[in-house]
Amino acid sequence: MNTITLKTSTLIRVALAALGVISIFMFYTFIFAHEGEDHGAVATQTTGRGDTIAMTKQAQFLLGVLTDVAKKRTINPRLNLLGKIVAPTLGKAEVFPPISGRVVADGYRIPTIGTRVTQGQILAVLQQALASPEQSQLVTERFKADAEFNQASKDLERLKQLEGVVAQKEVQQAEIRFESAKKQKEFYDKALAGNYKEGSNRFYVKSPITGVVADAEIAIGEQVEVNKRLFTIVNSSTLWVEGQIYEIDLGKIERTKDAYVSTQTYPDDLFRAKLFSMGSTIDEATRTVKAIYQVNNPQSKLKVGMLAEVGVSIGTPFEALAIPADAVVDVRGKSIVFIHVAPEQFVARDVVVGTKDGSYVQVKSGVNDGDRVVTVGNYQLKSSIQ
């Protein structure tokens, strides 16, 4: 039984090793295929522009080669600005404690990251804690209040026994003094006992804006100081995108206010935006001006800190032959596309591109209407002609 198992496992290892060798051989066959040798994967038949490259269907599948058809599309001339999503000035709040104290439960739930809160909502409750010098001072004041209360009580009792002999005004003054001493004594008794309610030594931390908790650094029982940030609240319904405009493009941008925002996270979504403000000075190092675009974010897809691209319309839309921008690769300083001319054959062509509109680019020459261009896998094809 053991002999059979051993032989079976040995055969399996031999088979796996053979598969590994075959995979490596296929990989290097693809990389090093050249003219005059039929390697069955990729072969470059010519070496200049118009290079013809043969690639088996199996190799195309392994590389995930994808194509798209060149055809006429509506091109909207745009200037694309790289930017970053930030919170508006009034759309972000950092919450700090008003006093030093200990975080207590008091029946309120501390919101966690992602929780939606409203303006004025209680986020946490703090029990004020006294430092040692303040505690000592409080004890001293309590002794004084006790002594004053005891003396006022004795004086009032004595004057009441002499009522009718002493003036009524003296009795009234003694009563006022007694009530004042009594309240002062109760104040210090409660201060030392820590039995304050809201408005005394228990403070309520509230949200200054309506939004979502982006950060929370607080826990029940924690001792916090006034310089510790407890929460960060962001109202993400409307966000800003900070973009950089090159000096040479300022004139084009100033003529239009509308724009679209796109992100790599949501490549198929365009978010409508408007120019909110533009800087008045040019950065000496980058020769750019900061522009802020306001974008609505009702579904909260956009997040603060995301990188984004702002597409600003700078001309009249027109019809033109266009292909996906991903189809164009650079080979020795020239723009090249690969045309799928047969099931296992591709041709490299020089192209002249024009206006870019989102993920598409105008083609002025080199590609015909209906040509099928490679959009994924073209960098592997590029390596074969280099």
Q: What is the CATH number of the domain that holds 331?
A: 2.40.420.20
Of the spans 23-27, 185-189, 310-314, which averages the highest pLDDT?
Answer: 310-314
Two tokens at 285? 């190092």
pLDDT band at 131 (very low <50, low <70, confident <90, very high): low
pLDDT band at 13 (very low <50, low <70, confident <90, very high): low
pLDDT of res. 16: 45
Taking the model in full, what pTM does it have? 0.54
Q: Which of 315, 349, 368 corresponds to the end of one domain?
A: 315
Give the Å distances, CA to CA, from 9 to 3, 5, 13, 210, 344: 10, 6, 6, 65, 39
- Which CATH number is 171's domain given? 1.10.287
* Cα 79 from Cα 370, distance rounded (Å): 28
Mean pLDDT, the chain, whole residue set: 80
Segment 48-56 mean pLDDT: 73
Instruction: Give yes or no: residues 185 and 221 share one domain.
Output: no
Instruction: Give yes or no: residues 115 and 177 share one domain.
Output: no
Q: In total, how many domains does the chain have?
A: 4
Instruction: Give yes or no: residues 112 and 212 share one domain.
Output: yes
Residue 99 domain-assigned? yes
Given a cut of 70, is residue 132 above it in pLDDT? Answer: no
- The answer to whether residues 335 and 352 touch, using CB atoms and an 8 Å cutoff, is yes
Residue 333 domain-assigned? yes
pLDDT band at 307 (very low <50, low <70, confident <90, very high): very high
Instruction: Give yes or no: residues 325 and 374 share one domain.
Output: yes
pLDDT of res. 20: 46
| Domain span holding position 109 | 93-124+205-233
Place of tokens 């053979």: 18
Two tokens at 377? 């896998």
Q: Which residue has the higher pLDDT, 51 or 159?
A: 159
What digits encode the pLDDT tens for the residues 196-250? 444 457 788 999 999 999 999 999 989 888 899 999 999 988 999 998 888 888 8
Segment 343-372 mean pLDDT: 89
Residue 48 domain-assigned? yes
Residue 105 domain-assigned? yes
Residue 200 domain-assigned? no
pLDDT of res. 71: 93
Residue 16 domain-assigned? no
Instruction: Give yes or no: residues 242 and 285 share one domain.
Output: yes
What's the farthest any 2 CA atoms get from each other in the chain? 135
Place of tokens 């700078």: 314
Instruction: Give yes or no: residues 152 and 168 share one domain.
Output: yes
Find the length of the chain.
386
Segment 348-373 mean pLDDT: 89
CA 334 to chain centre: 37
pLDDT of res. 130: 59
* Cα 242 from Cα 87, distance rounded (Å): 10
Do β-strands 307-313 and 78-86 pair in parallel, antiparallel, or remain unpaired?
A: antiparallel
Residue 19 domain-assigned? no
Residue 12 domain-assigned? no
Neighbour count for residue 43 (Cβ, 10 Å): 21
pLDDT of res. 188: 73
Instruction: Give yes or no: residues 250 and 309 share one domain.
Output: yes
pLDDT of res. 378: 84
List the one residue out of 8, 75, 48, 4 whose CA is nearest residue 321: 75
What digits encode the pLDDT tens for the residues 60-73? 898 889 999 999 99
Q: Which residue has the higher pLDDT, 99 or 210?
A: 210
Given a cut of 80, is residue 137 above it in pLDDT? Answer: no
Q: Within 13 Å and on the Cβ side, how many CA atoms surround 112? A: 0
Given a cut of 50, is residue 310 above it in pLDDT? Answer: yes
pLDDT band at 44 (very low <50, low <70, confident <90, very high): very low
Instruction: Give yes or no: residues 176 and 213 share one domain.
Output: no
Percentages of the chain per state (helix, strand, coil), in multiples of 5? 30, 35, 35
Q: Is 269 helix (H, G, I), strand (E, B) or coil?
A: coil
Segment 141-169 mean pLDDT: 83
DSSP-assigned states of every residue in 171-217 = HHHHHHHHHHHHHHHHHHHHHHHT---BTTTEEEEE-SSSEEEEEE-
Instruction: Give yes or no: residues 249 and 341 share one domain.
Output: no
Instruction: Give yes or no: residues 261 and 297 share one domain.
Output: yes
pLDDT of res. 195: 42
Instruction: Give yes or no: residues 265 and 152 share one domain.
Output: no
- Which CATH number is 275's domain given? 2.40.30.170
